[in-house]
Structure 1
Amino acid sequence: MDDIVRQALAKWPDVPSCTGWLLLDRRGNWRMRDEAAQAGGAAGTPIRHTALLAFINRNYEADESGQWFFQNGPQRVYVELAYTPWVVRLSADAGGALSLTDQAGGVFEPSAVYVDDEGGVLFVDRSAPPRVAVLHDHDLEVFSDHAQLADDGVSGAFFWRDGVALPLQAVRRADVAGRFGFVVSPATRA
């Protein structure tokens, strides 16, 4: 968390939080949702301002109940999640070495891989507590180049770096938030 945010929290500790105004979409884009977008269930307008995106990413975390938020100075802005709290991009360099990077630009080291019942690919990283991220849909081809799927379409193996094969595990999309301990649509908090 930025020092300026800590200072604002100390100066104004009782600023009410808000919900519904910020969404992390399925492709890792931050979206601003005005009242019309919220009322219509729309995703909102993508945020493109580089400095604002960096500020959001540096001050993005979860509370004790698994609700993700952006600490905007003294105000906690709870985030609506289109799927998971993290979205990762998978790439292979010229030598074929794979890397995963989250929407904030951080390295993501997988310890488990899941395939949901809608064809989404989820990675769980080695952090404590572990983070879960959905794979950006533009990277499904890279994933398939490094995976062997069984006939059931959800089991098999993903071949990571250094000969590490991570087994593919099945998960129902409807069960992902509960299984990995996050809240998709946070409640309003004071």
Structure 2
Amino acid sequence: MDEIVKAAMAKWPEVPACYGWLGLDARGQWHLRDDAVQRAGPFAGANPAGRGQRLEHEKLIAFIGRNYGNCDQGRWFFQNGPQRVYVELEVAPWIWRLQPDGGLCSHTEQLASYRSSWVDEQGRLYVDTELGLGLVHSQDMHLAADWVEQGRWLPQECLAAELPQRFGFVLSPQASLPA
């Protein structure tokens, strides 16, 4: 976490959290979701209007990545100074890019090591690491297929709906709030 963020948290410890305004899609892209977008539907729903505006500013994306984490309840967030901005996840908290040497690199540029792999009913491939569960980026499926064929990865079958509970994450922190 950035030092400036830690200092802001110490200076203003009681800033309320923010829900529904930031989303992470299955390709590791961040989306800003204003009030109108949130009213259009959930981030992970079938309505593309629920996505919001994809962030493209490289320094902002890097700042979010450096300050991305999770709480004890499995809700992922971006610590924006003193304010915690909970993230709506399309699929999983991490999106993995595969490295030629067998390593994994997250959408936030963090390196991780393979522990296990899972394939869901839609054929999506997930990898569990010391950082948590993530989806393999669609552009890296050819390399993942090679590793499965070589026996380096042995994916187990799973149902996508069971992954959040099994791996301790919340897809929609906003939806998990009491009514």
Q: Same fold (TM over 0.5)?
A: yes
Residue of structure 2 equivalent to 1:13: 13
Once the two structures are superposed, what CA deviation does each residue of 1:68-120 show, in whole Å capped at 9, x if it has no partner?
0000001100000001000011243xxxx333211011112101011111101
Q: Scaled by the length of structure 1, what TM-score is found?
A: 0.83
CA contact (8 A) 1:22 1:31 kept: yes
2:113 is aligned with 1:109: yes
The two structures, once aligned, show a CA RMSD in angstroms of 1.5
Report the TM-score, using the length of structure 2 for normalisation. 0.88
| Greater strand share, structure number | 1
Q: Whole-Å Cα distance in 2 between the matches of residues 103 and 73 of structure 1?
A: 21
Structure 1 unaligned regions, length at least 5: 149-157, 160-164
What is the deviation of 1:168? 1.6
Q: Name the residue aligned to 1:69.
A: 77
- Secondary structure of 1:167's counterpart equals coil
Q: In the TM superposition, what is the alpha-carbon distance from 1:167 to its structure 2 partner?
A: 2.2
Match of 1:55 among 63, 85, 110: 63
Could you tell me which runs of 5 or more consecutive residues in structure 2 were left unpaired when the two chains were aligned.
42-49
Asked whether the equivalents of residues 28 and 87 of structure 1 are also in contact (C-alpha less than 8 Å), the reply is yes
Alignment of 1:38-187 (within 5 A): 38-41=38-41, 42-92=50-100, 97-125=101-129, 127=130, 130-148=131-149, 159=151, 165-187=152-174
Q: Between Structure 1 and Structure 2, how many residues are aligned?
A: 168
* 2:45 match: none
Equivalents in 2 of 1:64, 1:55: separation in Å?
A: 22
Are the counterparts in 2 of residues 90 and 142 from structure 1 also a CA contact under 8 Å?
yes
Q: Hey, which bits of structure 1, 4+ residues long, moved more than 4 A?
A: none
Amino acid at match of 1:176: L
Distance 2:89 2:140 in 1: 20
Query: Counterparts of 2:65 and 2:115 in 1: how far apart (Å)?
Result: 23
**Same amino acid, percent of matched pairs:** 41
How far 1:146 sits from its partner (Å)?
A: 2.3
* AA matched with 1:166: W
